Amino acid sequence: MTVVVTATVHPAEGRLEEVLEIFSRHVEAVHQEPGCELYALHAQGADLVVIEKWSDPELLRAHSGGAALAALNQELDGLLAAPAEVLLLNPRPAGDPAKGAL
């Protein structure tokens, strides 16, 4: 079962570009993880929104406890104003299959 994740990251004031750079260094490692179908960065004002798609909940759990995320979190230490807001979503495709699902 596919899982979609959104993670809203709140960089400390004036640190958005630094946080984006740190994420950019770790994206390729996440893309190589089993089950990763999408891991994309988006900026919304002073925040960063990561949209993820995983082929299986177990593989998402492995990512959550894996080396790539641990290394990312270590570099982000002290650069965030608040903890990330993470939502796990179960897709409910509708309409045109090409447009109704990630």
Q: What is the pLDDT of residue 6?
A: 98
Structural domain contains residue 31: yes
Structural domain contains residue 102: no
Low-confidence ranges of the chain (pLDDT < 70): none
70 phi, psi to nearest 5 deg: -60, -45
Structural domain contains residue 96: no
The model's pTM is 0.91
What is the total count of domains within the chain? 1
- In terms of residue numbers, what domain contains 66? 3-89
Structural domain contains residue 95: no
Q: What is the pLDDT of residue 76?
A: 97
Report CA torsion sign: 30, 31, 33, 37: positive
CA distance 32 to 68: 10
Structural domain contains residue 16: yes
Count the helices and strands in the chain (H runs, E runs): 3, 4
- CATH number of the domain enclosing 83: 3.30.70.100
Structural domain contains residue 68: yes
Q: What is the pLDDT of residue 25?
A: 96
CA distance 8 to 47: 7
Closest CA to 41 of 56, 60, 62, 22: 22
Structural domain contains residue 98: no
Q: What is the pLDDT of residue 101?
A: 82
- Please give the DSSP secondary-structure letter assigned to residue 12: P
Q: Quick check: 13 and 5 in contact, CB under 8 A? A: no
Structural domain contains residue 80: yes
